[in-house]
Structure 1
Amino acid sequence: MISAGYCRLMSRYNTWQNTSLVTAADGLTNEDRWKDRGAFFQSIAATFNHLYWADALILERLKGNERPEETVKHSLTSPSDWVDFKALRFRRNEEVEEWSESLGDADLEGMLVWYPGDGFIRIEKPKALCAIQLFNHQTHHRGQIHAMLTAAGAEPEPTDVQMLT
Structure 2
Amino acid sequence: MIDPAYAQMMARYNAWQNDWLFAAVDGLDEAAREADRGLFWGSIRATLSHLMWGDLMWMSRFDGGEGPARPLNETGDAYGWPELRAERPVADARITRWAAGLAAGAFGTDLSWWSGAAGREMSKPYALCVVHFFNHQTHHRGQVHAALTALGVKTQDTDIPFLPEDA
Same fold (TM over 0.5): yes
The equivalences for 1:15-94 within 5 A come to: 15-64=15-64, 72-74=69-71, 75-80=75-80, 82-94=81-93
Q: Please tell me whether the aligned partners of residues 114 and 123 of structure 1 are also in contact (alpha carbons under 8 angstroms).
A: yes
Aligned to 1:12, the other structure's residue is in SS state helix
Counterpart of 2:107, as a letter, is L
C-alpha spacing 1:139/1:120, structure 2 compared with 1 (3 Å):
closer
Q: Please tell me whether the aligned partners of residues 37 and 43 of structure 1 are also in contact (alpha carbons under 8 angstroms).
A: yes
Instruction: Measure, in 2, the Cα distance between the counterparts of 1:7 and 1:62.
Output: 12
State the Cα distance separating 1:77 from its structure 2 match: 1.8
Partner of 1:10: 10
Moved segments of 4+, more than 3 Å: none
State the Cα distance separating 1:31 from its structure 2 match: 1.0
Counterpart of 2:149, as a letter, is T
State the Cα distance separating 1:107 from its structure 2 match: 1.6
Q: Please tell me whether the aligned partners of residues 35 and 42 of structure 1 are also in contact (alpha carbons under 8 angstroms).
A: yes
Instruction: Measure, in 2, the Cα distance between the counterparts of 1:120 and 1:31.
Output: 35
Partner of 1:102: 101
Could you state the TM-score of these two structures normalised by the residue count of structure 2?
0.89
Q: Please tell me whether the aligned partners of residues 25 and 33 of structure 1 are also in contact (alpha carbons under 8 angstroms).
A: yes
Instruction: Measure, in 1, the Cα distance between the counterparts of 2:117 and 2:44.
Output: 29
Instruction: Measure, in 2, the Cα distance between the counterparts of 1:27 and 1:4.
Output: 35
Which stretch shifts more, 105-114 or 133-142? 105-114
Segments of 5+ residues of structure 2 without an aligned counterpart are none
Could you state the TM-score of these two structures normalised by the residue count of structure 1?
0.90
State the Cα distance separating 1:83 from its structure 2 match: 2.8
Q: Does 2:136 match 1:154?
A: no
User: Percent identity at matched positions?
Assistant: 39
C-alpha spacing 1:120/1:31, structure 2 compared with 1 (3 Å):
closer
Q: Please tell me whether the aligned partners of residues 27 and 154 of structure 1 are also in contact (alpha carbons under 8 angstroms).
A: no
Segments of 5+ residues of structure 1 without an aligned counterpart are none
Instruction: Measure, in 2, the Cα distance between the counterparts of 1:119 and 1:39.
Output: 23
State the Cα distance separating 1:119 from its structure 2 match: 8.2
Instruction: Measure, in 2, the Cα distance between the counterparts of 1:64 and 1:27.
Output: 35
Aligned to 1:103, the other structure's residue is in SS state coil
State the Cα distance separating 1:4 from its structure 2 match: 0.2
State the Cα distance separating 1:64 from its structure 2 match: 5.0
Number of residue-to-residue matches in the alignment: 161
